[in-house]
Structure 1
Amino acid sequence: MDKSSNRLSLPASPREFGFYVNGACIPIGSREVFSRNSPGHDVPVTRIPKCTTDDLDMAVDAARAAFDDRRWSGLNGQARAAVLLRTGALIRERSEEIAYFETLENGKPISQARAEVAGCADMFEYASGLARSLHGDSFNNLGDGMFGLVTREPVGVVGIITPWNFPFLILCERVPYILASGCTIVAKPSEVTSATTLILAQILTEAGLPDGCMNVVTGSGSTIGQALIEHPHVDMLSFTGSTAVGRRVVEAAGRTNFKKLGLELGGKNPQIVFADADLEDAADGVAFGIGFNTGQCCVSGSRLVVERSVADAFAQKIQDKFARVVVGDPLNEATQIGAITTDAQNRTIMSYIEKGKAEGAKLICGGEQMDFGRGQYISPTLFGDVTSEMAIAREEIFGPVLAIMPFDSVEEAIMIANDTEYGLAASVWTKNIDKALMVTRRVQAGRFWINTTLSGGPELPLGGFRQSGWGREAGMYGVEEYTQIKSVHIEIGKRTPWIA
């Protein structure tokens, strides 16, 4: 670290990774290589193999063998818990390394990456207890001649496809719960942010996870991702990404083996602010809700639904917050908003800003590409005079762009909040608990925050309504998601003959 600037140093050369199958790292060899440049610095930081479909088949075969011979699913809950608990401890030991590569590849601020890694250790530690508490049910009401059991069994081999915005966090919202259920895994991270997924695979092996239970195959979504979705020996697939790609996942799964799906997709999430809220707290929360991870977050609060009587004053508070937020080098510990992760996403965000202006929205502040000499950065952007027909009000931008939409009544606020194809997350800011609970009940979203946003831990489930996805991750619900239910009927005593 450069002590004078409170900034971590860039690597002298890119770190080379192989892929991970059957408990071992497989070198790049003669495979093509994807070289990743840091989006905050424009320097090469990692080199990752572009795996082939044969590599994927090898990984799925390893996961299949590990599941079928019960080297993991056949262990008791205490044994599984011990591995998960040890994994959490090893994540904490290597937290600085993981956060560093998360920041290098993604462009998020190092302080945020560190907090995420600590939260990921929590996920494993919490899931260790769930491995011991997963259970079924019994029915002792079937009469003297019958006893019934309902058991939960692991679904089998699970494929995981994760995006580039939270490479480690989204992975760890799934892996410990999948393993707690007794399943085995083949993971396919985004090709631009693969490093921390590969590090986790190494950690799991060191923690005692049997070989073949966690495999990582790197490459593009169009080749390796598609092949994983369609693979006939994968029993369930967890996909996190856009709703548009989610539709293609559903279609592909239907064409092959009707594998079970868990989908966390897009969002156009409302932050509803009433005049009776603590407006200083609300302004800070709203700014955080759109600025966190540079707005590249499926649960970002990108629609500011604010009571008209305070709309102008509240917009000024947001503008003041945006003016003071620290945008810049992700490796600087003072940075709050980092770099845009990919060139394509940078272009997408800027195109939406232009579209907002063209459609008649008022650009209150931001909307500019920021020049720090290297890297790609966009200033936090606030639009007013936004109507529900505009693209910036309806479509997921996935960047630091906030649209103000005023309302005059509680009913109108709820209507605006629900006027979307999505239903991933929402926040409400008010000191009236009756109002808060009514809004919480009537706004359709899988996650809801009252007088806060983007908070939570491993105990509560994650997931969406409507076109924001299927299923739930994390918590006991997240373990049960990766199980299937079996009914067992046990006859007691002598059978009544069917044939005399």
Structure 2
Amino acid sequence: MFDQAEHIFEAPLQYQNFISGEFTDALEGGVISRESPAHGRMVSQYPASTRADAEAAIAAARESFDAGRWAFDYGGERAKVLREVAQSLRRNADDLALVETLETSKPLAASRGEVLFAAELWDYAAGLARILHGDSHNTLGEDMLGLVLREPIGVVGIITPWNFPLLILSERLPFALAAGCSVVVKPSEFTSGTALMLGRYLKDAGLPDGVCNIIAGTGDQVGQAILDSPDVDMVAFTGSTRVGRAAIAASAGNIKKLSLELGGKSPSIVFADCDQEAAIDGVIKAATINMGECCIAGSRLLVEASVAEAFQNRLAERLQELRMGDPLDPTSRIGAIINRAQFDRIAESVREGVRDGARIVCGGDPENHQGLFYPPTVLADVKPGMSVARQELFGPVLAVMPFGDLEEAIGLANDSDYGLAAYVWTTDLSKALSCSRRIRAGRVWVNSALQGYPELPLGGFKQSGNGRETGRYGIEEYTELKSVHLHIGPQAERWVEGA
């Protein structure tokens, strides 16, 4: 599709919705145009879907699920479709990566890595389609057999954010399909390209019409229609805690199940006994990956007081070596922020932190850079009550706080409304296990940062959400349990005497 990246600037790529197996424009003909954050040039045009488009997609999903062809098909047949999609992702990895980079501004190598990991998730979900099972109880007496059936929950709405468009969708969609659900997908209006490209791979893989429907549009039109619809049995939403609360409120009207991955303010905890060079590299990765626009970003650095000054100074030195620039340049590790509004929020949050008493160790000077590039920033002298220590900035900003001992480290780590992830750096096994067990977060990395595996679940504690995605638990999230009481033989008793 692309021999040279410059071709994308000749004319923006045109996309269509994918509804009931057909590729269509928005019913009202509206279009959403997307500029590359790093280049300021138009790269994509998507349908500006309205509530009417959403209702058509929901109706297609409802009809396909109620027909039962996919929902009650042999798991091995579902697995074949998912595996073929995984292969399509690999075959088209370069094209998908380029679209992601142009729409999000993440470095091209990072985009390609995410596409390949997404393919792993589709492969893993294919395996789960074969092993999903219920249970039986043969201990209820000689005339009763108990069966526990695990069935697909029904029609699922999947609403995804702009920071990891294909990856976050692939942490949910293949698992819902593996369970036998029908789906309506709404990607972010900023980064809809790769999700809409996925429609072609699903169709080519032989997915029955209507089982998966993908429509671009805004949250107030498409997202709200999904949340409001009584024909949608479950919504998997990834995004801010603020919007997550709105989703909970909307779901109350029709009592649908929600799976929510929301905000984070994850701590990186550095003990004095750690491998400090490895820890510095891992802390930088956790704080700056995807320009810090990452819900599990390690945006709070809790470092043992005896090494805090030296550690943050060395951290600042290493950050100066981190190249920020055009994401199509293979040497760039930091791209542009997703849009002007987000850029301004980051800048204002840093200014507020300084007004509150924080000190800039490095970065914090966006006016010295062209475009939407915000430099990696380290703030020292941060107190736990400051906004930069409590609010999710969604940018490459690290708030540093010292601690005295293990108990204080764990206390600071848990002193947050969020509980999505944590990073621990120590060579002491007891400290590592204590932190892993006592920190209230859905994922804990020890002496590593952001390595992902399809086998392990993800999700949050507290205001970071509920439910779990990926791993074998990921498919169970999209199912309901049903008990079957199976009487065997003649009825020995009657409820109505004399019958």
- Matching residue's letter, 2:161: P
1:30–1:53 Cα change, 3 Å = closer
In structure 1, distance between residues paired with 2:57 and 2:302: 47
How far is the alpha carbon of 1:227 from its aligned partner?
A: 1.3
In structure 1, distance between residues paired with 2:395 and 2:369: 18
1:336–1:160 Cα change, 3 Å = same
- Aligned counterpart in structure 1 of residue 282 of structure 2, from 275, 285, 288: 285
Match of 2:122 in 1: 124
SS at match of 2:463: helix
1:448-487 to 2 correspondences below 5 Å:
448-487=444-483
C-alpha contact (below 8 Å) 1:229/1:249 kept by paired residues = yes
In structure 2, distance between residues paired with 1:161 and 1:130: 23
In structure 1, distance between residues paired with 2:53 and 2:452: 37
SS at match of 2:252: helix
Match of 1:68 in 2: 66
Match of 1:266 in 2: 263
- Matching residue's letter, 2:305: R
In structure 2, distance between residues paired with 1:370 and 1:232: 49
In structure 1, distance between residues paired with 2:471 and 2:27: 40
In structure 1, distance between residues paired with 2:353 and 2:85: 46
In structure 1, distance between residues paired with 2:367 and 2:451: 29
How far is the alpha carbon of 1:485 from its aligned partner?
A: 0.2
Name stretches of at least 5 consecutive residues in structure 1 with no aligned partner: none
Which digits, 9 at most, give the CA deviation of each residue in 1:370-416, with x for residues without a partner? 6665x410000000000011000000000000000100010000000
How far is the alpha carbon of 1:142 from its aligned partner?
A: 0.6
Alignment pair present for 1:306 and 2:289:
no
Which digits, 9 at most, give the CA deviation of each residue in 1:24-77, with x for residues without a partner? 110357522111000010000001111121111110010001101012112101
Which digits, 9 at most, give the CA deviation of each residue in 1:426-447, with x for residues without a partner? 0100001111001110000001
1:261–1:282 Cα change, 3 Å = same
Alignment pair present for 1:355 and 2:352:
yes
Percent same amino acid among aligned pairs?
49
| Count of equivalent residues | 496
C-alpha contact (below 8 Å) 1:17/1:28 kept by paired residues = no
How far is the alpha carbon of 1:469 from its aligned partner?
A: 0.3
In structure 1, distance between residues paired with 2:118 and 2:313: 36
SS at match of 1:448: strand
- Aligned counterpart in structure 1 of residue 322 of structure 2, from 283, 301, 325: 325
SS at match of 1:377: coil
Match of 1:252 in 2: 250
C-alpha contact (below 8 Å) 2:27/2:49 kept by paired residues = no
1:30–1:244 Cα change, 3 Å = closer
Q: TM-score, normalised by structure 1?
A: 0.97
C-alpha contact (below 8 Å) 2:12/2:42 kept by paired residues = yes
Match of 1:427 in 2: 423
1:455–1:215 Cα change, 3 Å = same
C-alpha contact (below 8 Å) 2:17/2:23 kept by paired residues = yes
37-46 vs 27-36, which moves further: 27-36
In structure 1, distance between residues paired with 2:28 and 2:182: 28
SS at match of 2:9: coil
In structure 2, distance between residues paired with 1:405 and 1:10: 44
SS at match of 1:261: strand
Match of 1:444 in 2: 440
In structure 1, distance between residues paired with 2:385 and 2:374: 24
Which digits, 9 at most, give the CA deviation of each residue in 1:208-251, with x for residues without a partner? 11110110121111221111111111000000011111111000
1:40–1:399 Cα change, 3 Å = same
- Aligned counterpart in structure 2 of residue 390 of structure 1, from 354, 378, 386: 386
Alignment pair present for 1:410 and 2:406:
yes
Alignment pair present for 1:232 and 2:234:
no
Which digits, 9 at most, give the CA deviation of each residue in 1:118-177, with x for residues without a partner? 000000111111000000111111111111111100000000110111111100000110
Name stretches of at least 5 consecutive residues in structure 2 with no aligned partner: none
C-alpha contact (below 8 Å) 1:80/1:180 kept by paired residues = yes
Match of 1:380 in 2: 376
- Matching residue's letter, 1:343: R
RMSD (Å) for aligned C-alpha atoms:
1.5
SS at match of 1:426: strand
- Matching residue's letter, 2:339: T
1:371–1:219 Cα change, 3 Å = farther
In structure 2, distance between residues paired with 1:83 and 1:2: 26
SS at match of 1:378: coil
1:2–1:467 Cα change, 3 Å = closer
How far is the alpha carbon of 1:11 from its aligned partner?
A: 2.7
C-alpha contact (below 8 Å) 1:131/1:181 kept by paired residues = yes
In structure 1, distance between residues paired with 2:294 and 2:490: 61
Match of 1:170 in 2: 168
- Matching residue's letter, 1:46: S
In structure 2, distance between residues paired with 1:13 and 1:30: 23
Match of 2:362 in 1: 365
Match of 1:96 in 2: 94
Which digits, 9 at most, give the CA deviation of each residue in 1:449-486, with x for residues without a partner? 00011111111011000110010001110100000000
Which digits, 9 at most, give the CA deviation of each residue in 1:344-381, with x for residues without a partner? 111110011111111110100001216665x4100000
In structure 2, distance between residues paired with 1:123 and 1:76: 20
1:9–1:284 Cα change, 3 Å = farther
In structure 2, distance between residues paired with 1:87 and 1:371: 44
1:487–1:30 Cα change, 3 Å = closer
In structure 2, distance between residues paired with 1:75 and 1:487: 20
Match of 2:154 in 1: 156
- Aligned counterpart in structure 2 of residue 337 of structure 1, from 330, 334, 342: 334
- Aligned counterpart in structure 1 of residue 188 of structure 2, from 187, 190, 213: 190
1:371–1:72 Cα change, 3 Å = farther
How far is the alpha carbon of 1:2 from its aligned partner?
A: 12
SS at match of 2:484: strand
- Matching residue's letter, 1:191: E
- Aligned counterpart in structure 1 of residue 395 of structure 2, from 399, 406, 411: 399
- Matching residue's letter, 1:344: A
How far is the alpha carbon of 1:497 from its aligned partner?
A: 2.7
